[in-house]
């Protein structure tokens, strides 16, 4: 029996204001382009689910009745997913969706979807990743590295804010302040498939056509890329649990300095 990723994740930290109705329209257009990605429900919180109605979403957004800070979308049919994005622009603004049990013939469409979304929200840092299963607790050094790769590939505001970029995923985006914080040439010279995007960011695929690669091929390339990046101290510092089940992160010196500078700027603006 073949083993495949049970979940594909798209996690991004946008550089544009997602409260803009034109931006929301563009995002909804992307999800509606293909029937198997069209949402079946929406809400303004994780607990609220009503039938998907694009016009209602736009009306509520324009009238601000009620005013909400997040937009949740879900699909509960053959292709399942759920996720949300922040409608308030700030340092930790987040866009995140999980796609479950995607048939292999549609893997490429997940990457196409993420590419189209990235062109709209222009992620400062973003990852698209298929979570191939790994032994828990990990049994070998390779298992440990695979677990690290998977934990790197699920950034969230609670980790990105205090710790910065966690690492590389199968596909990784960088732009804006993240590129400015480090030398852009560091990212251009990563030993992977690097593309400079029209919208100003950089896209890095571990391999050409990552949707065709297996877990071993992706992990081999990830190890190579992370070894290259280690010398530049771009990513958060990993901590591996004694139980061999999880990975946590601490900020590196560059990110700590960056946060201090942000705090000084905010205090100066008060």
Beta bridge partners of 129: 9
Rounded Cα distance between 87 and 68, Å, is 8
Q: Which two tokens stand for residue 185?
A: 């040439």
More confident residue, 58 or 163: 163
Q: What is the pLDDT of residue 2?
A: 62
**What average pLDDT does the segment 204-209 reach?**
98
Q: Is the pLDDT of residue 142 over 70?
A: yes
Q: What is the pLDDT of residue 157?
A: 94
Q: How confident is the model at residue 270 (pLDDT cuts 50, 70, 90)?
A: low
Q: Which two tokens stand for residue 255?
A: 């990110």
Q: What is the pLDDT of residue 269?
A: 56
Q: Which two tokens stand for residue 91?
A: 């340092």
Q: Which two tokens stand for residue 110?
A: 């997940």
Which residue do the tokens 């997602």 mark?
A: 18
| Angle (nearest 5°) at CA 81 between 58 and 84 | 45
Average pLDDT, the chain: 94
Q: Is the pLDDT of residue 12 over 70?
A: yes
SS (H, E, C) the chain: CCCCCCEEEEEEEECCCCCCHHHHHHHHHHHHCCHHHCCCEEECCCCCCEECCHHHHHHHHHHCCCCCCEEEEEEECCCEEEEEEECCCCCCCCEEEEEECCCHHHHHHHHHHHHHHHHHHCEEEEEEEECCCCCCCCCCHHHHHHHHHHHHCCCCHHHHHHHCCCCCCCEEEECHHHHHHCCHHHHHCCCCEEEECCCCCEEEECCCCHHHCCHHHHHHHHHHHHHHHHCCCCCCEEEECCCCCCEEEECCHHHHHHHHHHHHHHHHHC
Q: What is the pLDDT of residue 1?
A: 43
Return the axis-axis angle of helices 141-152 and 215-230, rounded to nearest 10°: 80
* Residues present in the chain in total: 270
Q: What is the pLDDT of residue 19?
A: 86
Q: What is the pLDDT of residue 160?
A: 95
Percent of the chain surpassing pLDDT 90: 83
More confident residue, 91 or 135: 135
**What average pLDDT does the segment 75-99 reach?**
93
Percent of the chain surpassing pLDDT 70: 97
**What average pLDDT does the segment 46-70 reach?**
86
């Amino acid at each position: 029996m073949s083993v495949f990723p049970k979940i594909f994740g798209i996690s991004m930290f946008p550089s544009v204001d997602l409260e803009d109705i034109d931006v929301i329209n563009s995002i909804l257009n992307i999800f509606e382009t293909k029937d198997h990605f069209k949402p079946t429900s929406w809400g303004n919180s994780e607990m609220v689910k009503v039938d998907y109605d694009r016009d209602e979403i736009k009306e509520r957004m324009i009238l601000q009745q009620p005013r909400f800070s997040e937009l949740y979308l879900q699909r509960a049919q053959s292709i399942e997913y759920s996720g949300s994005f922040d409608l308030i622009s700030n340092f930790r603004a987040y866009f995140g969706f999980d796609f479950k049990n995607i048939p292999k013939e549609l893997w490429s469409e997940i990457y196409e979807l993420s590419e189209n979304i990235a062109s709209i929200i222009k992620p400062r840092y973003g990852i698209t990743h298929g979570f191939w299963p790994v032994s828990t607790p990990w049994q070998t050094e390779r298992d440990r590295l695979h677990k690290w790769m998977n934990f790197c590939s699920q950034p969230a505001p609670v980790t990105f804010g205090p710790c910065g970029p966690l690492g590389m995923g199968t596909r990784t985006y960088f732009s804006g302040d993240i590129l400015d914080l480090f030398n852009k040439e560091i990212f251009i010279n990563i030993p992977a498939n690097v593309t400079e995007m029209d919208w100003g960011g950089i896209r890095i695929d571990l391999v050409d056509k990552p949707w065709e690669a297996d877990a071993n091929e992706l992990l081999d390339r990830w190890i190579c890329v992370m070894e290259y990046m280690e010398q530049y101290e771009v990513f958060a510092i990993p901590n591996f649990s004694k139980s061999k089940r999880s990975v946590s992160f601490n900020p590196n010196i560059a990110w700590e300095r960056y946060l201090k500078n942000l705090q000084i700027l905010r205090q100066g603006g008060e």
